[in-house]
Amino acid sequence: VPGADPSARQLCFAWGPAEVLVCETLFGRAGGCRSRCPCRSPCPSRLWAAGRAGGAARALTGSLAGTGDGAPSSSRVFVVRRDQDIYIQTLRKLFNESHGIFMGLQRSEEELAGKSRKAQLVQVSKNYRSVIRACMEDMHQAAVSTRDPALQGQYSTQVSILSAMELIWNLCEILFVEAATAGPLLLRLLDWVRLHVCDVDSMVREVLSSESPSKHKLFWNVVDVFVLQGRMDEARHLLSKEASANPTSMNMYKILDDLMKKMPVPSLGNTQTLTELELKWQHWHEECQRYLQDGTFASNPHMESICKILLGDEDAILEKKELMTTWYHFLVTRLLYSHPTVKPMELRFYAQSSMDLFLGGESSPEPLDMILMSAFEFEMHQVIKECSIVLSNWWFVAHLTDLLDHCKLLQSHNLYFGSNMREFLLLEYASGLFSHHSLWQLGVDYFDHCPEYGRVYLELHIERVPLSTEQKALKVLRICEQRQMHEQVRSICKIMAMKALRNNRLGSALSWSIRAKDAAFATLISDRFLKDYCERGCFSDLDLIDNLGPSMLLSDRLTFLGKYREFHRLYGEQRFAEAARLLLTLMTAHIAPCSFWMTLLTDALPLLEQKEVIFSAEQTYELMRCLEDLTAGNPDKQKFQDDDVETTKVEMLRLALARNLARVIVKEGTVEGS
Amino acid sequence: QDNRISIWSAGDLGNAGLNGEYHGEPHLLCDIQHNGDVMDMQFLDQERIVVASSTGTVTVFRHHQNNQTLSANHRWEKAHYHMDQDTPCGGAACTGVVCNNPEIVTVGEDGRINLFRADQKDAVRTIDNADSSTLHAVTFLRTTEILTVNSIGQLKIWDLRQQRNEPSQIFSLAGDRVPLHCVDRHPNQQHIVATGGQDGMLSIWDIRQGTMPVSLLNAHEAEMWEVHFHPSNPDHLFTCSEDGSLWHWDTSTNVSEKPSFLHQGGRSTAYLSHSTINQSVVSAWLSNDPTKDRMEITNLIPNQTLSVNSLDVLGPCLVYGTDAEAIYVNRQLFA
């Protein structure tokens, strides 16, 4: 962790859902915790976040300067994130595209059996590899075009890491996914080597593009490269140029050319069986042997060494070490010229010996070499384990393991906490994605396909996605709703509704509580409206209240609000009889909160004072009863006694009610006469 | 966060091969840093682009075609904000912007409507608290009238000539007040308006009459983010949604001759309008007889995964962007 020095200060840490907070403290040195760090328990004297220690150490992001509290130097808080790679811009394409391939694989039909299923899986593997290569291309472009040397170094490192990943993946595809059998196995391995050992490409290009290639000093090197890689046609083509330039060696050339042409190679189709191939190969091998022993090529050391290579002479091949550059190239060449019908299970022996011979005790194998060796030994778990240790990101192992699992190659290798390896790796990868502000959406789909713990992980992570805009909140909500995560839906809607409420966006707040079907919150909002009305005497946001529609039924208070507004509207339209009926219903049906009854009764006053009688006798008795209920109520209601305005109101009401009653009794008692 | 405004070239028409396929992928011409999420953007004229940000700022960028660069021409900070302008988190996202050179109208999560003029420093007009909920989208109805949709399912018409801060008309959905996310007006017949809702429902409105939509079409399974009439072929409508699909709605009359009815998912429910209209001039969008006028609906995305957030259509070209950080260009829409 750059900047954190355990010898100078003590460090303590606190785990978060996606990050670790590390801070410096003086606790234990001077007997108290002087810095303002968020330590929950006494800081251990010298401890610091372990767990994927490699990843964590590499993943330091920012450090914030803490507030100095009078101590001589300020203390700092470090935020340590687990996965730094997801922030590399050029890798985003890798994550996005591979997500698409992953989803396609999960959705593909399981019913396809046998060959067609295998072909489908091989295609998926190829898709993954082409995505890696596309990313490598982009990264290479970025490395070439940038002017910052540090960035350039970073990009170049990434290119080599991606290239190594593709190398390993390709080998796994040949050995595990396609499970090439003896015969085609060698062809695939040859392709693999040709694709990945490209240190010699520039030399090849140089020679081929020169005017007279046979005069080029690297001419024989290039021919050797072709022979070592089994590219017979190209080798013969070059040799023909040499032959035409050098008529004296025409005889030798013809023989060598003939041998190279006749060399039996495994074919992809079923045109010959292995035994046939072996027989042919044996004959051919003896023929080469004869020519060598006859001294046919004695005068030209280059051609002689080529013949020795054709015979699979290990020393001859080893001489060309620099042209092969890697031990696995050596392995494949060896197999081509000594055991072309090698069976998959025999690879391990040849691999081990090739590595030993090639490295020859000078250098020790690197991690990449060990991974490839494990692959040749068909130790899938070992491959995955070693890749996990070496790579800084779970992307590779998660996707490769998932693919191998679909090939039904991994037994349920139960880890001690219950989930299997595929699920464990996918969970780790997806958790890493969730700490990214935008890539978290990909993580959701990965969690979906982890049957045991995926849902739990998703529930915990989704609540922590920062909701900076409403649109983002809507996306998160949709994800939760689709998976019936009702707790999370309620919680998110509450957060958004509270935010809206604080910003005085009552309509937004209501819309969020409708989405969550949150009656309690709707009540809260209605109370807010009613409070505003009481304070200001008029409604705010009429466009909302007038248009509540069926959502009015979400909560009683909301219904009251809607109906109350309707009362005002009816009054405004002078439809007094309906207004009166509505007002009465509001009180008698107990929809109105008790605190509001006084207001309602006061609203009844103008109706009572109208020239024509509106309230019937029945209704007037009801109103009187309500008033009595209100005033006779809780004697704790001090304000009724203290407040002059209140007592005046009550008196006015009583008077108005009495007068109305008088008029209505007369009116109702009158016979409709002339 | 590293958000950028980018200009891409989608290949020349001259590169089309024998079958009319275009060669080459879109390549990046220039880009510029942008503060906050890009919520909406629109070309003001050939060179200038107006961008709405989640920080509440509205920026005008200029694209210099001679040296292929972008520069920020003009900026209205805090065009949208909540209550206290000075608090750091007081910005409210600007959710929609529409241009009619030189006028620019923006709406936001603060329920505010702003009218700007391209080169004037301050807003020409601001309607505070135009809506108590979030305004999700805005479009021009006529040169002096705008349409807005909000998160309580209302479509409002505002007359900018009038000084009062009230909408001149309010339309709303029957039933649940599902938030409306997008709105577009028919290019030729100005009374026909399409809106998309949070439940993926496409509503067609005739604003000359009634306060309810003319037809409701059950379309997507999740929020419909954008709806666009094709500017030159208005019998075609395009909608994109959070569920990852992009639908092409085709009501051109020759479809009715085809016996089959291509309908991918979704049922179509139509509500009859009340008044009688002269049938011969009514647009295919307003007619409600499912046996006579058929609509062909196709999903343009073969294997959908993540949300399609935005689309635009011009001539034979369709462009759309997804949450998988990919942009797709389809240059043969009507082939």
Quick: pLDDT tens for B66-92: 888 899 989 998 899 887 655 556 778
**What's the rounded mean pLDDT across residues A67-80?**
55
Q: How confident is the model at residue A238, as a pLDDT?
A: 85
Looking at beta carbons, which residues of chain B come within 8 Å of A470? 93, 95, 109, 134, 151
Q: What is the pLDDT averaged over residues B94-102? A: 91
Determine the Cα–Cα distance for residues B41 and B294; give it in Å rounded to an integer.
Answer: 34
CB contact under 8 A, B177 and A511: yes
pLDDT band at B141 (very low <50, low <70, confident <90, very high): very high
Cα–Cα distance for residue pair A401/A396, rounded to 1 Å:
8
Q: Which residues of B touch A442 (CB under 8 A)?
A: 306, 324
> What integer pLDDT is reported at residue A196 of this predicted model?
87
- CA separation for the pair A337, A350 (Å, rounded): 13
Residue A408 has pLDDT above 80, yes or no: yes
- Which residues of B lie inside 8 Å of A (Cβ-Cβ)? 1-2, 37, 39, 54, 82-83, 92-93, 95, 109-111, 131-134, 150-154, 156, 167, 170, 172-177, 179, 198, 222-223, 242, 303, 305-307, 323-326
Under the banding of pLDDT at 50, 70 and 90, the label for residue B253 is: low
Give A612-644 pLDDT, tens digit per residue.
778 888 888 888 888 888 877 655 555 555 567
- Residue bearing the bigger pLDDT, A359 or B270: A359
State the pLDDT at residue A576. 85
For the record, the structure tokens of A370 come out as: 């060990």
Provide the token pair at B323.
Answer: 């949450």
Return contacts of B56-63, CB within 8 angstroms, 24+ apart.
B56/B80, B56/B81, B56/B91, B56/B92, B56/B93, B56/B94, B56/B108, B56/B110, B57/B91, B57/B94, B58/B94, B58/B97, B58/B104, B58/B106, B58/B114, B58/B116, B59/B34, B60/B104, B60/B118, B61/B5, B61/B32, B63/B7, B63/B30
Q: Positive or negative CA dihedral for B269, B271, B277, B282?
A: negative
List CB contacts (< 8 A) between B150 and chain A: 507
pLDDT of A416 reads: 54
Query: What pLDDT does residue B24 have?
Result: 62
Nearest CA in chain A to B325: A96
* CA A75/CA A33 separation, integer angstroms: 11
Q: Among A158-162, A439-443, B270-274, where is mean pLDDT lowest?
A: B270-274
The more confident residue out of A443 and A28 is A443
d(CA A466, nearest CA chain B) in Å: 13
pLDDT of A517 reads 87
How high is the pLDDT of residue A634? 53
Position A597 confidence tier, pLDDT thresholds 50, 70, 90: confident
- The mean pLDDT value for B253-260 works out to 41
* pLDDT in the model for residue A493: 93
> B133 vs A508: CB contact, 8 Å cut-off?
yes
Nearest-Cα residue of chain A relative to residue B155: A543
Instruction: State the virtual CA torsion across A498, A502, A508, A512 in degrees, nearest 10.
Output: 0
Whether B264 shows a pLDDT value over 50: the answer reads no
Top-confidence range, A121-130, A190-199, A242-251, A404-413:
A121-130
pLDDT of residue A26: 65
Report the percentage of chain A scoring pLDDT > 70: 85
Give the span between the Cα atoms of A307 and B327, in whole angstroms.
Answer: 55
Whether residues A469 and B154 touch (CB distance < 8 A) is answered with: no
Q: CA nearest B111 in A: which residue? A: A505
Say if the Cβ atoms of A445 and B305 lie within 8 Å.
yes
What is residue B291's predicted lDDT score, i.e. its pLDDT?
52
Spell out the domain ranges in chain B: 1-15+22-172, 187-253+280-334
pLDDT at B196: 94
First to last CA, chain A: 102
Spell out the CATH class of B187-253+280-334: mainly beta
Mean pLDDT, chain A, integer = 81
Interchain contact, A469 vs B37, CB within 8 Å: yes
pLDDT at residue A3 in the model: 67
pLDDT digits over B192-220, tens only?
999 999 999 999 999 888 888 888 888 89
Is the model's pLDDT at B270 over the cut of 50? Answer: no
Question: Would you say residue A652 has pLDDT above 70?
Answer: yes
Nearest to B149 by CA among B80, B187, B197, B114: B197
Does B303 have pLDDT greater than 60? Answer: yes
Three-state DSSP at A446 gives: helix
Which residue in chain A has the smallest CA separation from B181? A471
Higher pLDDT residue, A352 or A72?
Answer: A352
Superfamily of domain B1-15+22-172: YVTN repeat-like/Quinoprotein amine dehydrogenase (2.130.10.10)
Best of B57, B112, B152 to substitute, by most chain A Cβ atoms within 10 angstroms, is: B152
Q: What is the pLDDT of residue A444?
A: 95
Which of B176, B223, B307 has its CB closest to that of A550? B176
Q: What is the pLDDT of residue A413?
A: 55
Asked if pLDDT for residue A67 goes beyond 80, the answer is no
Q: Which residues of A touch B151 (CB under 8 A)?
A: 470, 507-508, 511
| B177 → closest Cβ in A104, A468, A551 | A551
Confidence check: pLDDT of B271 > 50? no
Name the residue ranges covered by the structural domains of chain A. Answer: 192-342, 467-573, 575-673
Q: Average of pLDDT values for B328-332?
A: 87
Q: Is the pLDDT of residue A426 over 50?
A: yes
| Average pLDDT score over chain B | 82
Residue A673 has a pLDDT of 58
**Structure-model confidence comparison of residues A74 and A217, the more confident one:** A217
Q: What separation in angstroms does the CA of A455 have from each of A212, A406, A417, A479, B307? A: 67, 21, 16, 12, 21
User: By a Cβ cutoff of 8 Å, what residues of chain A touch chain B?
Assistant: 89, 92-93, 96, 99-100, 103-104, 437-438, 441-442, 445, 468-472, 474-475, 478, 482, 503-508, 510-511, 514, 540-541, 543-544, 547-551
Q: Which of B152, B223, B303 sits opposite A547 (nearest CB)?
A: B152
For residue B298 the two structure tokens come to 């196709």
Residues A500-519 pLDDT 10s: 888 888 888 988 988 888 88
Choose, out of B133, B165, B211, the residue to mutate when testing the contact with A (most A CBs < 10 Å): B133
pLDDT score of A236 more than 60: yes
Q: How far is A571 from chain B (nearest CA, A)?
A: 22
Confidence of residue A52 (pLDDT cuts 50, 70, 90): very low
Tell me the mean pLDDT in the region A505-534.
87
pLDDT band, residue A218 (cuts 50/70/90) = confident
For B152, the closest of A92, A470, A511 (CB atoms) is: A511
Do A505 and B110 lie within an 8 Å CB cutoff?
Answer: yes
The shortest C-alpha distance from A176 to chain B (Å) reads 28
CB within 8 Å: B83 and A504? yes
Chain A residues closer than 8 Å to B174 by CB? 549
Residue A226 structure tokens: 């072709």
- Most confident range (mean pLDDT) of A85-99, A408-422, A434-448, A580-594 is A434-448
Most confident of A206-215, A462-471, A587-596: A462-471
Q: What is the mean pLDDT of residues A384-389?
A: 91
Residues of A in contact with B153 (CB under 8 A): 549
- Asked if residue A454 lies in contact with residue A448, where contact means CB atoms within 8 angstroms, the answer is yes
The string of pLDDT tens digits covering residues A601-614 is: 888 888 888 777 78
Confidence band, pLDDT 50/70/90 cuts, at residue A42: very low
> Which H, E and C letters describe B18-83, residue by residue?
CCCCCCCCCEEEEEEEECCCEEEEEECCCCEEEEEECCCCEEEEEEECCCCEEEEEEEECCCCECC
Residue A297: per-residue pLDDT: 82
Chain A residues lying within 8 Å of B39, measured CB to CB: 469, 471
- Counted across chains A and B, CB pairs separated by less than 8 A come out at 117
From first CA to last CA, the distance across chain B in angstroms is 40
Enumerate the residues of chain A whose CB falls inside 8 A of the CB of residue B198. 474
Give residue B290's pLDDT band: very low, low, confident or very high (50, 70, 90): low
Kindly tell me if the per-residue pLDDT of A58 is higher than 70: no
| Whether the Cβ atoms of residue A94 and residue A395 lie closer than 8 Å to each other | yes
pLDDT of residue B58: 94
Is pLDDT larger for residue B30 or for residue B281?
Answer: B30
Contact B134 A470 (CB under 8 A): yes
Q: Regarding predicted confidence, which is higher, A52 or A324?
A: A324
In terms of CA atoms, which chain B residue is nearest residue A512? B151
Q: With contact defined as beta carbons under 8 Å apart, do A185 and A173 qualify?
A: no
Contact A469 B172 (CB under 8 A): no
Backbone angles phi, psi at A399, to 5 degrees: -70, -40
**What band does A412 get if pLDDT is binned at 50, 70 and 90?**
low
Confidence of residue B255 (pLDDT cuts 50, 70, 90): very low
CA of A97: which chain B residue's CA is closest? B324
Query: SS3 for A81-111, per residue?
Result: ECCCHHHCHHHHHHHHHHHHHHHHHHHCCCC
CATH topology of B1-15+22-172 equal to that of B187-253+280-334?
yes
d(CA A428, CA B305): 22
Inter-chain residue contact B111 with A505, CB threshold 8 Å: yes
User: Shortest Cα distance from A535 to chain B (angstroms)?
Assistant: 18
Phi, psi angles (nearest 5°) of residue A224: -60, -40
- pLDDT reading at A70 higher than 50: no
Residues of chain B found within 8 Å of residue A503, distances taken between Cβ atoms: 82-83, 92, 110
Write the pLDDT tens digit of every residue in A328-346: 999 999 999 998 888 999 9
Instruction: Measure the CA–CA gap between A468 and A385, rounded to whole angstroms.
Output: 39
Task: Collect all residues of chain B within an 8 Å Cβ-Cβ radius of residue A478.
Answer: 222-223, 242
For residue range B149-207, what is the model confidence (pLDDT) as tens digits? 999 889 999 999 888 888 998 898 877 788 999 999 999 988 999 999 999 999 999 98
Structure-model confidence comparison of residues A596 and B115, the more confident one: B115
Show residues of chain B in contact with A93, CB under 8 Å: 325
